[in-house]
């Protein structure tokens, strides 16, 4: 991991040229949204920006499966989902640890479960992504109607077999399992910049046993599966969104106050950083706005000092 981090640093530290600015991160006043009947972008913590419009076109209480839900991005996705009144199913290798990590994060983030989402709506399930599709189906989908899958899982060990099996094989099994379930309406997959086209510095991550290559193969697997399912009259995966973030290690939640997320078309971005919180917000915005996010690949890089933009509008424009 330490070796990987050393390589990842150029990827995560480089701010995109268009984002360089002399404005100080702390100079932006914090705007707090007021409570809306539909609770999109409700500001439960100071760092949240009112970036997306309150007009979601999905049912008010979707059931959402989050793989890697105990991870650093996963916790933030859970946070955003709770604020949308979703029922959340966190799939994790160690559900007890995932629960502790999520609860601790929510506490630290100042999420008030009475106002900002009832944490009892989160269920923690045992799940190892490397299991075959039939096992995943039984554990994750069989007895429950899952509406949306957000796959935020990622390898934590940079060994050749682990990278292949986690980033590609396991994802393919999850996608197969989700497709076997009747009526998963949206599969949102988090990958990375640089999965389908080489560019510096993101592409350097491929030195770690082709991690971006295998993430890219998983993207293609999802696209192909959705196309096959779309040809069916019902069931299967109805649509996908692929979210490719820039580096996640540099920026923290608080940076979302002064760094504005930007969405770009596929294969156009290769450097920069984005706070995990903003990646979570984009994933949840994609879920809330299926027409705007349908079968799209979006790349995320944040711009220091940039004016906040409406995620809905950015999704629609892609």
Give the nearest distance from C-beta 237 to ligand NAP in angstroms.
19
Site for ligand NAP, residues 83 to 102, rule: CB under 6 A:
92-94
CA distance 199 to 127: 34
Query: Tokens representing 101?
Result: 């990590």
Give the nearest distance from C-beta 61 to ligand NAP in angstroms.
25
- Contact flag: residue 72 with ligand NAP (CB under 6 A): yes
Instruction: Say if CB 298 and CB 268 are below 8 A apart.
Output: no
- Contact flag: residue 128 with ligand NAP (CB under 6 A): yes
Closest CA to 218 of 249, 246, 240: 240
- Contact flag: residue 13 with ligand NAP (CB under 6 A): no
Site for ligand NAP, residues 239 to 278, rule: CB under 6 A:
245, 247-249, 276
Give the nearest distance from C-beta 127 to ligand NAP in angstroms.
6
Instruction: Say if CB 245 and CB 274 are below 8 A apart.
Output: yes
- Contact flag: residue 194 with ligand NAP (CB under 6 A): no
Among 44, 51, 179, 192, binds ligand NAP (CB under 6 A): 192
Residues in contact with ligand NAP, counted by CB under 6 A, come to a total of 29
CB atoms near residue 110 (< 10 Å): 11
Which is it for strands 122-126 and 240-245: parallel, antiparallel or unpaired?
unpaired
Q: Residue 222, class by beta-carbon neighbours within 10 Å (0-12 exposed, 13-18 middle, 19+ buried)? A: buried
Length reported for the chain: 318
- Contact flag: residue 189 with ligand NAP (CB under 6 A): no
Q: What single DSSP character describes residue 138?
A: I
State residue 200 phi and psi, 5-degree precision: -95, 140
Among 68, 236, 272, 275, binds ligand NAP (CB under 6 A): 68
Per-residue x/- marks for ligand NAP, 155-174, CB under 6 A?
xx---------x---x----
Q: Which residues pair with 259 in a beta bridge?
A: 304
Among 8, 88, 111, 175, binds ligand NAP (CB under 6 A): 8
Task: Using CB under 6 A, list all residues that contact ligand NAP.
Answer: 8, 12, 68, 70-74, 92-94, 127-130, 152-156, 166, 170, 190, 192, 245, 247-249, 276
């Amino acid at each position: 991991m330490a070796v990987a981090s050393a390589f990842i640093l150029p990827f995560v530290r480089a701010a995109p040229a268009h984002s360089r600015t002399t404005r100080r991160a702390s100079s932006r006043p914090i705007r707090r949204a007021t409570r809306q009947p539909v609770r999109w972008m409700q500001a439960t913590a100071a760092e949240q920006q009112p970036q997306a419009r309150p007009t979601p076109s999905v049912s008010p209480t979707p059931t959402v499966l989050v793989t890697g839900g105990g991870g650093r991005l996963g916790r933030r996705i859970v946070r955003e989902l709770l604020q949308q009144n979703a029922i959340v199913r966190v799939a994790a290798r160690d559900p007890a640890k995932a629960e502790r990590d999520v609860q601790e994060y929510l506490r630290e983030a100042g999420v008030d479960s009475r106002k900002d989402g009832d944490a009892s709506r989160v269920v923690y399930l045992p799940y190892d992504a490397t299991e075959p599709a039939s096992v995943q189906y039984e554990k994750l989908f069989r007895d429950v109607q899952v509406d949306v899958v957000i796959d935020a899982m990622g390898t934590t060990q940079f060994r050749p077999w682990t990278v292949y099996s986690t980033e590609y094989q396991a994802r393919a099994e999850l996608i197969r399992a989700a497709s076997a379930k009747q009526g998963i309406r949206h599969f949102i997959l988090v990958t990375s910049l640089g999965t389908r086209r080489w560019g510096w510095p993101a592409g350097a991550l491929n030195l770690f046993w082709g991690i971006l290559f295998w993430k890219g193969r998983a993207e293609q697997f999802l696209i192909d599966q959705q196309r096959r399912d779309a040809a069916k009259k019902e069931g299967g995966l109805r649509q996908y969104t692929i979210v490719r973030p820039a580096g996640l290690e540099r920026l923290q939640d608080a940076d979302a106050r002064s760094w504005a997320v930007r969405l770009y078309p596929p294969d156009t971005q290769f450097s920069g950083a984005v706070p995990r919180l903003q990646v979570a917000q984009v994933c949840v915005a994609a879920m809330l706005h299926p027409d705007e996010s349908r079968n799209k690949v979006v790349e995320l890089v944040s711009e220091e000092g940039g004016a906040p933009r409406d995620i809905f509008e950015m999704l629609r424009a892609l």
